[in-house]
Structure 1
Amino acid sequence: MTQSKFMKQKDFTTEEIVEFYNDTAWEYKAFWSDFNLHYGFYDENHTTHEEAMVNSNRIYAEKLGVERTDTVLDVGTGRGGLPIWIAEHVGADVHGIDIDRRHVDEAKANARRRGVASNTDFEVANFLDIPYPDSTFDALSGIETVCHTKRKKDFLREARRVLKPGGKILLSDGFVNQYDLTANEEKTMRTLADGWAVPNFSHVADFRAHLTDLGFTNVDFDNHRDYILPSSRRQLFLSIAITPLLKVASALGIKDESSVKQGIALYHQYDAIKSGLAVHGDFTATLGT
């Protein structure tokens, strides 16, 4: 399949991705959330940042269609926001994997604080090599995580392996929706990718084709633009406020350059999403029986 030029440029090792999240952990906790690492979903009933973050977990869980008797896997689980919400509000048996030991420890601590340690399990693992037998899970989710690998179809094969026939998948992430980029558009998307330790953003059509090729049915894509614009705007304002400070801290050796790159990415993501150059959305699909 044809790919935009910037898609071929940079790769990030597992160690570099972990380092990115460790280097930017303070900013996430201080200015975003100690529970969720993703965009919040705003609507007329959820108008604050805190409400939007909770609302995003609720909407993702509803789309995944989890029931109390289900076993669920969340990949790239971060601090455990979505799986803990599912465990707390649905009562399902939930597992989460992440390549970052710090994230796994924080997810376990969050589960204990929410009183759901007994029906949650978090461990260090790579979603390209999921440490569970075939046909283990009724549902699988991944929120803003598959973007971190170039091997997106390989991940989907692994997801297919651990899902039961008829199992549901929900993957929310950043995508592109055009193949031919101008030089300025390519520069913007590369800035976003480098700022978030992302090798490439998949084209919506390519990702849909991967799911279909691997036997997933009822493939649907939902563009989150209207839900997340206020959340995206908040990131823009945070960038304006803190990026100059991060540059000084980096020059003094207090913060790593990755924090500065993320600050710059937060500045550019708002216009990219608002204009449609970047697309934030989720795929849902069912594994064929």
Structure 2
Amino acid sequence: MARPQASFREDVRMLGALVKFRMAKDWTKKVQSIYEMYPPGHLMTENSTYFNQGYWETGKETYDDAQQALAGLLADAAKMQAGDVVLDCGFGYGDQDFYWMESRQPKRINGINITPQHVEYASARAEREGVTDKLTFQLASATEIPFPDNTFDRVVSLESAMHYQPRTKFFEEAFRVLRPGGVLATADIVPMPHAGPREDIKSHAIGWLNWTVDERNWHDRDVYATKLGEAGFEDVDVSTIQPKVWEPWRAYITNKMAEPEFKKTVSKLYYRVLQKAWANPDLLKRELEDVDYILSSATKPLDA
């Protein structure tokens, strides 16, 4: 079933979210408004409502397949398996949770997210598919996780921890709610080692890195690993998958924008937004060389 196409109502919501973003002084509202600009009809996917950069093994994947591949890598990093109780922080529209439920067969997945639109959409889908006994989604912050200590076998965050204020508080909360021996895994965005200041980013396509990433989170993968250790985790692994993410993602979207048929599949407003964001693909290509994409995993000690 194809994802819904953009409606006039969604265009109005996009404009409203843009106004909200420009007026917002509260960090949470800024992040919420960025994601509210992209309802299902304003996504670049073919059929899904995934909302990540994707993992491109060959560079010839569809966007749906690349994004699901990234979700699969994250589940592998978390060692997700049948019978697990999982917490997914910042779940977007929840596609990965439905995919994991089918492919990894955990006992239950609880999702938390600060964007009401995402919670409503994922919850409605769970209701439609009759899986609310296994999949639940609620409005909550990853830095104030509303669950007791030692509740989960896995805590995961798919391309959202860069927004947390700060990410180290999320590490502490994940450690608290994990059972001893449980695993935290993230797919996350950080600067490449020795990259310049974040403020040097000028490409509109990734301007949100300046607008919605806490400055305390803008450090390289080595510091990331250190902070996981400081939170109490062991067996910490932080690896770059940057070459399989940013450049093939950039190439895919650039080619997609050039397809005459693509313009017919989106609203006029959304197409104009995309044109502005992707007006300088060469600048974007250069700047993405300084942006890392990492996959991390860390284990709560058995004696914790």
- TM-score class, shorter-chain normalisation, is 0.7 to 0.9
Following the alignment from structure 2 to structure 1, what is the Cα–Cα distance between the partners of residues 275 and 33? Answer: 13
Following the alignment from structure 2 to structure 1, what is the Cα–Cα distance between the partners of residues 74 and 111? Answer: 15
Which residue of structure 2 lines up, in the alignment, with residue 40 of structure 1?
A: 54
1:128 offset after TM fit, Å? 0.9
Distance 1:190 1:163, change over 3 A: farther
Which residue of structure 2 lines up, in the alignment, with residue 56 of structure 1?
A: 70
Which residue of structure 2 lines up, in the alignment, with residue 118 of structure 1?
A: 133
2:201 is paired with a residue whose SS is helix
- Which blocks of at least 5 consecutive residues in structure 1 are unaligned? 1-10
Following the alignment from structure 1 to structure 2, what is the Cα–Cα distance between the partners of residues 116 and 155? Answer: 27
Which residue of structure 2 lines up, in the alignment, with residue 66 of structure 1?
A: 80
Which residue of structure 1 lines up, in the alignment, with residue 291 of structure 2?
A: 278
Which residue of structure 2 lines up, in the alignment, with residue 206 of structure 1?
A: 223
Which residue of structure 1 lines up, in the alignment, with residue 160 of structure 2?
A: 145
In structure 2, give the amino acid aligned to 1:65. Answer: K
Matched, 1:225 2:242: yes
Which residue of structure 2 lines up, in the alignment, with residue 5 of structure 1?
A: none
* 1:18 aligned to which of 22, 32, 41: 32
Question: Across the two proteins, how many residue pairs are aligned to each other?
Answer: 265
Distance 1:45 1:34, change over 3 A: closer
Matched, 1:181 2:196: yes
1:236 offset after TM fit, Å? 4.2
Following the alignment from structure 2 to structure 1, what is the Cα–Cα distance between the partners of residues 161 and 224? Answer: 11
Listed one character per residue, the Cα deviations across residues 174-194 of structure 1 (whole Å, up to 9, x for unaligned) are: 111334627xx7411796353
1:282 offset after TM fit, Å? 1.2
Q: Could you tell me the percent identity over the aligned residues?
A: 22
Following the alignment from structure 2 to structure 1, what is the Cα–Cα distance between the partners of residues 208 and 275? Answer: 7
Distance 1:129 1:272, change over 3 A: same
* 2:252 aligned to which of 222, 230, 234: 234
Q: Is the 8 A contact 1:72 1:95 kept in 2?
A: yes
1:102 is paired with a residue whose SS is helix
How does the TM-score come out when normalised to structure 1? 0.78
1:156-171 superposed matches below 5 A? 156-171=171-186
In structure 1, give the amino acid aligned to 2:252. Answer: R
How does the TM-score come out when normalised to structure 2? 0.75
Q: Is the 8 A contact 1:75 1:142 kept in 2?
A: yes
Which residue of structure 2 lines up, in the alignment, with residue 4 of structure 1?
A: none
Which residue of structure 1 lines up, in the alignment, with residue 43 of structure 2?
A: 29
In structure 1, give the amino acid aligned to 2:229. Answer: T
Which residue of structure 1 lines up, in the alignment, with residue 150 of structure 2?
A: 135
In structure 2, give the amino acid aligned to 1:67. Answer: Q
Deviating beyond 6 angstroms after TM superposition, the runs of 4 or more aligned structure 1 residues are none
Following the alignment from structure 1 to structure 2, what is the Cα–Cα distance between the partners of residues 91 and 266? Answer: 43
- Which blocks of at least 5 consecutive residues in structure 2 are unaligned? 1-24
The 10-residue stretch of structure 1 (194-203 or 261-270) with the greater mean CA deviation from structure 2: 261-270
Q: Is the 8 A contact 2:189 2:291 kept in 1?
A: yes
Structure with higher RCO (Cα < 8 A, 6+ apart): 1
Distance 1:49 1:186, change over 3 A: same
Q: Is the 8 A contact 1:88 1:114 kept in 2?
A: no
1:171 offset after TM fit, Å? 0.9
Listed one character per residue, the Cα deviations across residues 85-104 of structure 1 (whole Å, up to 9, x for unaligned) are: 11121221111100011101
In structure 1, give the amino acid aligned to 2:291. Answer: A
Following the alignment from structure 2 to structure 1, what is the Cα–Cα distance between the partners of residues 274 and 243? Answer: 28
Following the alignment from structure 1 to structure 2, what is the Cα–Cα distance between the partners of residues 266 and 239? Answer: 12
Distance 1:16 1:186, change over 3 A: closer
Listed one character per residue, the Cα deviations across residues 151-189 of structure 1 (whole Å, up to 9, x for unaligned) are: 11111111111111111111111111334627xx74117
Following the alignment from structure 1 to structure 2, what is the Cα–Cα distance between the partners of residues 219 and 16? Answer: 31
